Amino acid sequence: MKNEAKYENKIVLSNVGNIDPTNINDYIETRGYEAAKKIVSNEYTPLNVIDIIKNSGLRGRGGAGFPTGAKWEFTAKEKADKKFIVCNADEGEPGTFKDRLILEGDPHRILEGMIIAGYAVGAQKGFIYIRGEYSTAIERITNAIKDAYEKHYLGNSILGSSFNFDIEIKKGAGSYVCGEETSLIESIEGKRGNPRIKPPYPGQKGLWNYPTVVNNVETIANVAPILLNGADWFKSFGTEKSPGTKIFTLIGNVKNPGVVELPFGITLREIIFGFGGGISNDRKLKAIHLGGASGAVYDGSILDVPLDYDALKEKEGMLGSGAVLVMDEETDMRKYLKNVLEFFKHESCGQCVPCRIGTARLCEMADDIIEKGGKEVNIEYMKHLTDVMFKSSLCPLGQSVIMPVKSIFKYFNNEF
């Protein structure tokens, strides 16, 4: 029995499950495209839109929590012949499937958010980069785009205005690192997904070196509601520094795994034991891997920390994508460590030395821990290596290996 009603505050998921995602009119009936229409018909200047988003305090839901308004403003100020909006629907972070639910359940919400973003920064073209494995989502979005074109919500002079905006889908083909924004840009350009060096940031030089805003699906899904209801309404949810809600995906050894949208400030205890109904098979909680593979792994001591983007900084972790992977007492943390490292090794793009070789050596050392026991392996060196990878890797993939590794060694020291 899920305790959904008690906890949920739906902004992003309000339509999901409640409307027919294949019917544009269903979306329109929930005040769909109203915000976009208002905006592109010049009721708001681009600057107004950016101001509203800035005021709302919306932060990127792709993991890093970067303020969305600031990102848009940055790109809006760039002078260029072309600009692009990219919706990051690559969702490869293990344990995360929130974006898929939005894409499948409320596709027009994404299109509307992108139109608004395009208007705000001066872009006339948007791409939705969806991971190739999400076939249903791809289908839904493809149809939604078709319907939107038919209604002149996309294309030239959309929604009865003089604003032009096109959206195209690009499919990924199986690569986690392509969720990283510069790698994603390379992939849209039809290349290997090797991340680029930053700076320059996509906001200055993104797709084909034109200024490009890359936003996560969930971020974009917040845009239309904010413009309809105002920044203050949005700020009434969540915490001061992280307003609004967050979708959490609760998985692993819990009674009721699933997805839940909750305001920031919620605790893991409420999520796991409230919404999730506690540990399955009535076992004891052992570990929580928070924020996807690249987040930190904690023991029960984290349960009562109110969650937002800044709360975990001192705990050397992150909220990331909002994945909450729960492990019970039976879990072998040495094997778990190895599994996480295998993931990174498999998904490293391979261009920079610390990550390419570092992930491989870490896997081998984790193997040795399993085979020969922790004493045989230079665990201090493993920590040192993740430190070096953190400092020297080219992109956040290699940089983030430090979080799971160090936290596992820290909280589950007795197993090594």
Ligand X SMILES: Cc1cc2nc3c(=O)[nH]c(=O)nc-3n(C[C@H](O)[C@H](O)[C@H](O)COP(=O)(O)O)c2cc1C
Question: Per rule CB under 6 A, is residue 172 in the interface with ligand X?
Answer: no
Q: What is the CA radius of gyration of the chain?
A: 21
- Give yes or no for residue 64 binding ligand X (CB under 6 A): yes
Task: Give me the residue label for tokens 């600031």.
Answer: 70
Residues 129-148 that bind another protein (CB under 8 A): 131-135
Stretch that binds ligand SF4, among 66-74, 84-92, 334-342, 350-358 (CB under 6 A): 350-358
84 forms bridges with which residues in the sheet?
Answer: 125, 212
CA distance 176 to 159: 36
Which amino acid does the sequence have at 336?
Y
188-217: which residues touch ligand SF4 (CB under 6 A)?
195
For ligand X, the closer CB: 32 or 63: 63
Query: Whose CA is closest to 401, among 320, 344, 335?
Result: 344
Residue 268's H or E segment, with its range, is helix 268-269
Position among 15, 56, 75, 88 found at the interface with ligand X (CB under 6 A): 88
Does residue 214 bind ligand X (CB under 6 A)? Answer: yes
Stretch that binds ligand SF4, among 58-66, 102-110, 112-120, 343-351 (CB under 6 A): 343-351
Q: What is the distance of C-alpha 326 from the center of its chain?
A: 19
Cβ 52 to ligand SF4, closest distance in Å?
35
- 63 conformational bin, left if phi > 0, alpha if psi -120 to 50, beta if neither: left
Q: State yes or no: residue 185 binds ligand SF4 (CB under 6 A).
A: no
Q: For residue 338, give the nearest of 305, 375, 296, 366 by alpha carbon.
A: 366
- Residue of 379, 382, 335 lying closest to 360 (CA atoms): 382
Cβ 263 to ligand SF4, closest distance in Å? 33
152: left (phi over 0), alpha (psi -120 to 50) or beta: left
Q: Does 327 bind ligand SF4 (CB under 6 A)?
A: no
Residue 55 interacting entry, from ligand SF4, ligand X, another protein, none, C-beta within 5 to 8 Å by type: none
- Which residues touch 67 (CB under 8 Å, ≥6 apart)? 54, 57, 58, 59, 60
Q: Does 180 bind ligand X (CB under 6 A)?
A: yes
Residues 372-391 contacting another protein, CB under 8 A: 377-378, 381, 384-385, 388, 391
Token couple for 156: 């030239």
Q: Which stretch binds ligand X (CB under 6 A): 12-20, 42-50, 323-331, 390-398?
A: 390-398
Give the C-alpha separation, 284 to 313, whole Å.
26
**Interface of this chain with ligand X, residues 89 to 118, rule: CB under 6 A:** 90-93
Q: Which residues neighbour 5 within 8 Å (Cβ) at sequence distance 6 or greater?
A: none
Q: If binding means CB under 6 A, how many residues of this protein chain bind ligand SF4?
A: 14
The minimum distance between CB 165 and ligand X, in angstroms, equals 19
Q: Are 172 and 187 in contact (CB under 8 A)?
A: yes
Q: Which of 119, 336, 409, 412 binds another protein (CB under 8 A)?
A: 336
Which residue in the set 15, 212, 219, 222 belongs to the binding site for ligand X (CB under 6 A)? 219
89: helix, strand or coil? strand
Among 266, 358, 406, 408, binds another protein (CB under 8 A): 358
395 contributes a contact to ligand SF4 by CB under 6 A: yes
Please tell me whether residue 362 binds ligand SF4 under the rule CB under 6 A: no
For residue 411, state whether it binds another protein (rule: CB under 8 A). no
Please compute, for residue 6, the number of CA atoms within 13 A of its CA located in the half-sphere on the CB side.
11
Determine if 63 is a binding residue for ligand X (CB under 6 A): yes
Instruction: Give the footprint of ligand SF4 on this chain (CB under 6 A).
Output: 177, 195, 348-352, 355-356, 393-395, 397-398
Instruction: Give the footprint of ligand X on this chain (CB under 6 A).
Output: 60-64, 66, 68, 88, 90-93, 176-177, 179-181, 214-216, 219, 395-397
